Structures are given as C-alpha cells and as structure tokens.
Amino acid sequence: MQRQDTHSKLIGYLLWIFGFTGAHRFYYGKPVTGTIWFFTFGLFFVGWIIDFFLIPAMDREADLRFNAGPTDYNVAWLLLTFLGLFGVHRMYQGKWLTGILYLCTGGLFLVGVLYDFWTLNDQVSMRNARLR
C-alpha cells in the first residue's frame, strides 16, 4: 500500500531558503535538528547546504511517518509560520479554544508557537488518524 503525499518538496525547498533557521527540518518532523540549525545557522551553513540534497529523502520519510487526511500539512505549516501568533493554525485544526487563547496572548507569549513548531506534524497526524 502506497502512502499519500503528506508533505510537499516545493514547500520544503521554499522553507530551505530560510533553512539556516531550521524551518525545513521542523516541517519534515525533525525538531531536534531544526533547533540545532536554528541556534547554529544551519550548522554554520554547511548542514544547510547539504540539506539541499537531503530534502527528497526527508520528504519520503515524512510521507511514510505521518497520516494523510483532510487536514493538510502544508496549509497547517503555512498558517503556523505566518500566522502562528494569532492561533490560526490551531483554529484550522478545529482547536478553537486554544486558537482564541493564542489570538489573545500572542501565541501564548511565543512559547505556544515554539511548542507547535516542535509538534505540529504529530498534531495533524493524530487529527487525520481520528478523522479516518
């Protein structure tokens, strides 16, 4: 059985442009190395350059690891990246209470947004598994 495409190589490469912040690694479900990339500017830009060639493999691994379904990973990640402080990514997942809380508290004082960068893939995967 072939898994559905949960993550996009296009989004991965767009995030790679800012990859020295670890954005593409968070997107593909690698929060530990995403955090390392964030604090070391993509492992002093060397890891960032190597990741250009690793994105297809990270994309395949994410497609196997996470559940596809009605909640789209790409939409959730774009909402988190650009509107995370306002909780729009949580509202998109049906988490209205915490979405409104984020809206009123600046993403729960940024700590909630950081937590969501670490866990968004799992949140969407669990929601998709429940909805199937």
Model pLDDT for residues 26-63, shown as the tens digit of each residue: 999 999 999 999 999 999 999 999 999 999 999 999 99
Judge whether 84 lies within some domain. Answer: yes
Say whether both 101 and 61 belong to one domain: no
Say whether both 58 and 85 belong to one domain: no
- Total domains in the chain come to 2
Judge whether 81 lies within some domain. Answer: yes
Model pLDDT for residues 95-118, shown as the tens digit of each residue: 999 999 999 999 999 999 999 999
More confident residue, 111 or 18: 111
> Which residues 6+ apart lie within 8 Å of 112 measured at CB?
98, 101, 102, 105
Structural domain range at position 44: 9-65
Compute how many other C-beta atoms are within 10 angstroms of the C-beta atom of residue 39.
Answer: 9
Residue type for 9, please? K
Judge whether 1 lies within some domain. Answer: no
Say whether both 38 and 82 belong to one domain: no
| Domain's final residue, options 26, 47, 65 | 65
Quick check: helix, strand or coil at residue 29? coil
More confident residue, 128 or 20: 128
